[in-house]
Every structure is written in C-alpha cells, then in structure tokens.
Homo-oligomer: A and B are copies of this chain.
C-alpha cells in the first residue's frame, strides 16, 4: 500500500527526457539560452514526476542557504513575535526561510544561538540582544566570517552594524508629556537595567520631559527594576510606601506596568484617578485590561520588515559588513487608553 517513493532528482528528469542533468538544472532555473520548448518539457516532467528541488544540495553548491537566523530573547513576548512576523513576511517574499533561536534573556544561550546559526550556514543573522548580555564577542565572530548581522530594538552601536530601533527617547518623552498634560505633577518612573540602551533612553526621555515642563526631578520617584511583572509590582510597592506617593507612573514597558497596576489596585487606589499609568511596547494584553493600558506603540511588524529589507538591500550591494552601517529609527506612537485619561 503505502509505498514510500524514492526521491526524484534532476537526474531522473534528465533520463526521462534523454537530456543531461545540466540542461534540466538550467531549464528549471530559467537560464537564458535554453530553448523555450526544452524549458516547458522539463517543467512538465518535473511536475509529472512530482519533483521537489533539494535545497540542501543547492545550498551546498551555491554556498548560501537561503535561511535567515533570528535571535530573540523570548517568543512569549508578543512584541518579538510581531517583529518576527515582519521578518518572515519579507523573507518569504525573497524566497528565504527563517530559523528562530530564543535566548530566554541568557547570555550563554545567545552564544549558542550564534554558534548554531554558524553551523547551519545561515546567510544572515538578525538579533535583539538579551538583557543579560554585556560581552559581544560572539557577534564579532559573524563579522570575521562575513555573515551580515542586523540588530533590532535591543541594538548596540559599538558593534558597528546596521540596526532598526524605535526612538525610545521620543516615546518616553511623549509618554511623560502626556501624563503632564493630564495634570499629573508627581510622576514616577519605573526603569529597567541601565546598561540596556533602550531602557536608558527611556529614562532620559522621562527626565527631559519633566525638565522642559519645569517639574523638578525627584530621585525618590525613580526606581529601577528588572523589567517583569513581579519586578513592576515590587517597584510600585516602594513608590506607594513613600510619604508622598506619585500621582502618575511611566513604566519602562508594559509588563512592568502590569505589575504596577496590580500593586496599585491592591493598595485600594483607583486608576487613573489616584494614579495614572502608562507603559511602553503595546503588548497584546494592554487593550484588554480594566482600565485599558495606555502605552507607546513601536511599529513592531514594520521593525521586522525593515530589518529584513536591510539585509536584502545590503546583499544586493555586496555585503553588509562592507557598507556603512545604517541606523533606522522608527517613530513611536502614543496610544492613550483609560489608564492615563483623567476626566
């Protein structure tokens, strides 16, 4: 019954048509200088025999795999899922596949990811650096081998590679400004690890927005956490314990904001009346919360698309490492929902 079909190769097609494998290969690849008629006959036979090209063989021969390796901290964070979606879209349009490696925010896994991709002979690596990572040598290895590296979101300028990021500073500035416009004056910030540049930028945006609006900076109102629900909750508790608690919070991202919301509710305070809050990232859950969470949208799909496009364009120009690194900065967009809208 279920006979397992032996694989059909280019040679089988050649035999069936009494021509050579070389001609079949050329015909299938629409090589100019192959008679139209031959092309047709080859393609017809390929279809009839149910031929599927062996990409592995082709990759070996051509020295390129048509695979993009993507390194992300976690697929559970919808932000990254969304970026990957954008990457996949552009990749598929260019006949590329995408391999994903999750680092779980761990440096060791990140190193292993690069290694895996090296062995898999990916044609490029698109990566978002893990929060834990400080040493960047493993990425240098890609450079030594001439494999394009493009960073997105969690970028790093020292590597001298192209990147697509969102203007975190501007996003933070707008978010803070928005809280000010709602009448808040004691605006707290729950920040993240300051060696991660995006988190540092958001802090700066917050500070400058206060300055511009002549609101004195208050050290008590800035706390640093580890960027997670739990950490957000703990940081908020600290803020609530102040003799004079804040009337608004700008959280470094949405999960942190979520934790903060839980702490605020637990303390019996009302959002946004007692304390207004805004996050960053536009995670999927934000719009479903009660009150719904104000946040900053980062154009995730576009970020992925642009990162992938950078690779394909660099490829056309002969190698990303040879051309000047480009930095693309996407404009963030404020999303005002209930959690920050005072009447």
Interface residues of A (CB under 8 A from B): 2-5, 7, 50, 52-57, 59-60, 65, 75-76, 78, 81-82, 84-85, 88, 97-100, 102, 115-116, 118-121, 141, 143-146, 258, 284-285, 288-290, 321
Shortest distance between the CB of A143 and any CB in chain B (Å): 6
Complex CA–CA separation, A121 to B82 (angstroms): 27
Instruction: Give every chain B residue within 8 A of A118 (Cβ-Cβ).
Output: 52
Q: Which residue of B65, B76, B97, B290 contacts A56 across the interface (Cβ within 8 Å)?
A: B65
Whether A85 contacts B78 by the Cβ 8 Å rule is no
Complex CA–CA separation, A285 to B292 (angstroms): 12
Instruction: Give every chain B residue within 8 A of A2 (Cβ-Cβ).
Output: 143-144, 321
Whether A284 contacts B76 by the Cβ 8 Å rule is yes
Complex CA–CA separation, A137 to B222 (angstroms): 60
Complex CA–CA separation, A55 to B4 (angstroms): 26
Q: Which residue of B54, B116, B119, B289 contacts A121 across the interface (Cβ within 8 Å)?
A: B54
Shortest distance between the CB of A56 and any CB in chain B (Å): 5
Instruction: Give every chain B residue within 8 A of A50 (Cβ-Cβ).
Output: 141, 144
Q: Would you mind naming 24 contact pairs between A and B with Cβ atoms under 8 Å apart?
A: A2-B143, A3-B144, A4-B145, A4-B321, A52-B119, A54-B121, A55-B119, A56-B56, A56-B60, A56-B120, A60-B60, A75-B84, A75-B85, A76-B78, A76-B82, A76-B85, A78-B78, A97-B120, A98-B100, A99-B99, A258-B288, A284-B284, A288-B288, A289-B289
Complex CA–CA separation, A283 to B74 (angstroms): 16
Whether A144 contacts B321 by the Cβ 8 Å rule is no
Instruction: Give every chain B residue within 8 A of A84 (Cβ-Cβ).
Output: 75
Instruction: Give every chain B residue within 8 A of A81 (Cβ-Cβ).
Output: 75-76, 81
Closest to A117 in B: B97
Q: Which residue of B98, B119, B289, B290 contacts A54 across the interface (Cβ within 8 Å)?
A: B119
Closest to A104 in B: B85
Instruction: Give every chain B residue within 8 A of A288 (Cβ-Cβ).
Output: 258, 285, 288-289
Whether B55 contacts A120 by the Cβ 8 Å rule is yes
Complex CA–CA separation, A60 to B57 (angstroms): 6
